[in-house]
A and B are shown apart, each in its own frame.
Chain A
Amino acid sequence: MRKAYILTTTAVAVAYLTLLLIQGMSEEVSILRELAAQRISVTRLSSCADAITEDLPRYLRGEVESEVLRSASMGILPDSMNVGVEEWKMASYNFLKDQGVQAELDMGIIGFGRTDGDPEGSLVCGTSFWYILRDAIYETELQDQRAISFIVPIRIYLMSDVVSGFRSSIIGKVWRAFMGNINTEGDDIRRMVVETIRAYQRSCASRDLDFGANVGLEVDRGNVTTTVCINFEELWITDVNPEAIILVNGEPARVTFKKERSTVKLLFRRH
């Protein structure tokens, strides 16, 4: 009887001890596994955060380049309101969902500005980006706010300035010539226009810009008034700087700022 009692008690004690040891070991192992899983979760969140913050400027750059190309072809400056990120946001939400990450993405207003330094008169794009990424399983969360700013090295503002400057220069020269002498010959004016175009071409070539213009003149002399019509038939400027290449449908392209045909009429009265 005593022997059986000792054996039973020992068996229970040994079983209890074994259970305690295994339980302790399991707890330790569970903690380690939990730590490893949390590390995976944090790595995944951080990798997703890096992916979207690196890709947003890449996407935006493509959109801004398209807007620069579109506006330049119309002879106007680019408008940031025409740049959208909805497609990218939707794709990012889907991408993050596939990674098992819940996300809140938000962006500030996209702004365009002119570069202060090199490349002179290029476009600088800026915006801000907020995100919250959550791993629902491990309840880890990552949130941050980033300022995004990049330069599109196409000298769109400079090209616009050159075109405006050329128009003003031609109009100013014609105006001064007829104000000085209302009988100024049309050929003299045409020669002056050609010289001005060449001067602009030389100046632009030295700055890696390809400038071209086709300006017509009509002089109508009356008894009291002389009317001069300056027809800006063609007026274009292309940035040929090696950096100023953009991709259009995967193909490299250059941006040409092309002003639409316009006519300026000047009226001079004899005194």
Chain B
Amino acid sequence: MFDSIIANSAIWILASLVIIAPIQTEQVSLALEEAFAMSQAADVLKEAEALGYIDELARLGGDRALADKAISKIASLVPPNYGFSISWSSQDGIIIGSLSSGDQVNLVHVTIIVSTGTQITYLSLGVGEG
């Protein structure tokens, strides 16, 4: 009888852990992935700034035709195998230029402020694995 009780107890504990552990680890893994994706997006924008791509974008003064070219340069800095979405918009929310590629689910966005000389704009980069 004791053997049966011990076996049942062990199974009960193990079953509880097996059910709960993946849920808990999944939540942690999502939070860590989000943190990592955000740091990736921040790094890309930092590198773009260092390479002068953001200044180049700012000097376009909101020219839609040339914006895509400058945005493509920033997009080239996103690590391969990452889905991304870049959106350049005015303070009123009017999109001046945008570009996206790959999986658009679970993108983590980082936004920066870009003064162009004629207006103040926002550049948002969303990055996600996949």
Contacts and interface: CB of A to CB of B under 8 A. Distances in A.
Interface string B38-68: 1101100110010000110011111100000
B78 to A, nearest CB: 15
B117 A29 contact: no
Contacts of B117: 62, 65, 247, 250
B82 interface: no
A98 B16 CA distance: 42
B49 A29 contact: no
Given A25-B21, A247-B61, A14 B9 contact: yes
A43 B39 contact: yes
B31 interface: yes
Contacts of A40: 31, 34-35, 38
A39 B62 contact: no
Which of B25, B32, B112, B122 neighbours the largest number of chain A CB atoms within 10 Å of its CB? B112
A98 B120 CA distance: 15
Interface string A26-49: 100100110011011001101100
A225 interface: no
B87 to A, nearest CB: 14
A98 B1 contact: no
A37 B31 contact: yes
A88 B120 contact: yes
A51 B111 CA distance: 8
A249 B31 contact: no
Contacts of A59: 115, 120
A58 interface: yes
A87 B35 CA distance: 32
B33 to A, nearest CB: 9
B91 interface: yes
Nearest to A25: B24
Contacts of B31: 32-33, 36-37, 40
Contacts of B1: 3, 6
B73 to A, nearest CB: 17
A6 B5 contact: yes
- Interface of A (DSSP majority class): helix
A33 to B, nearest CB: 5
A47 B49 CA distance: 12
A54 B91 contact: no
Nearest to B5: A10
Contacts of B25: 29
Given A88-B115, A98-B111, A247-B59, A43 B38 contact: yes
A47 B112 CA distance: 8
Contacts of A22: 16-17, 20
Interface in A53-88: 54-55, 58-59, 62, 65, 87-88
A147 interface: no
Contacts of B35: 36-37, 39-40, 43
B112 A21 contact: no
B95 interface: no
Interface in A82-113: 87-88, 91-92, 94-95, 98-99
A55 B48 CA distance: 13
Q: Lowest 4 CB-CB distances: which A-B pairs, in order?
A: A250-B61, A36-B31, A59-B115, A51-B112
9 contacts: A7-B5, A21-B13, A29-B25, A43-B35, A43-B39, A47-B38, A94-B91, A249-B118, A250-B116
